[in-house]
Amino acid sequence: MSELIRPVRRGDEAELTAMIHELAAFEHASDECTVTESHMGEALFGPAPTVYGHLVEVDGQAAAAALWFRNFSTWDGVAGIYLEDLFVRPQFRRRGLARKLLATLARECVERGYSRLSWAVLDWNVNAIALYDAVGGKQQDEWITYRVSGPDLSDLASELAPESGA
């Protein structure tokens, strides 16, 4: 069995999009997942990329992926990596691919002088939590994650008059 972990490249959009939809189904949120191949192409390879990624191939098949972006620590004064999604297709699980992807991102951090690798996990995903504990991940219990999206995002944005520019 040959394994290859590599940065994503043009042409990977279809596999990445499929894996994102598979992840949404796993997380019981298929109805919330609207990403398309063109979205991924623009996000990854457009003039101002907003996401980066790594793909794992096992015997030439797309088996797993990690999608991430740079964040910034004001306290450290340097960038870090925020792991947005890590997904291993079911038939490739329990082979250490997720751990290898985390190690790849850790290496990215070290080589670039970044100070941290961060991510979030659903509280019911006990297998992922066990892995994250095993690699030295520390739960940030004192932080509460917030998100504004959909109609609430539009409502919040409309609080500013368009001409105010504030």
Task: Please provide the DSSP assignment of 120-163 as one string.
Answer: ---TT-HHHHHHHHHTT----TT-------HHHHHHHHTTS-TT
| pTM of the model as a whole | 0.91
Sequence ranges of the domains in the chain: 3-140
Q: What angle do CA 65, 12, 16 make, to 5 degrees?
A: 45
Q: pLDDT tens, 90-117?
A: 999 999 999 999 999 999 999 999 999 9
Burial class (CB in 10 A: 0-12, 13-18, 19+), 144: exposed
Question: Nearest to residue 85, comparing CAs of 98, 71, 73, 72?
Answer: 98
Q: pLDDT tens, 27-73?
A: 999 999 999 999 999 999 999 999 999 999 999 999 999 999 999 99
| Rounded CA separation 18/30 (Å) | 12
* CATH number listed for the domain at residues 3-140: 3.40.630.30
Could you tell me the CA-to-CA distances from 42 to 17, 35, 71, 85, 90 in Å, in that order?
12, 11, 19, 17, 28
* Predicted pLDDT of residue 164: 54
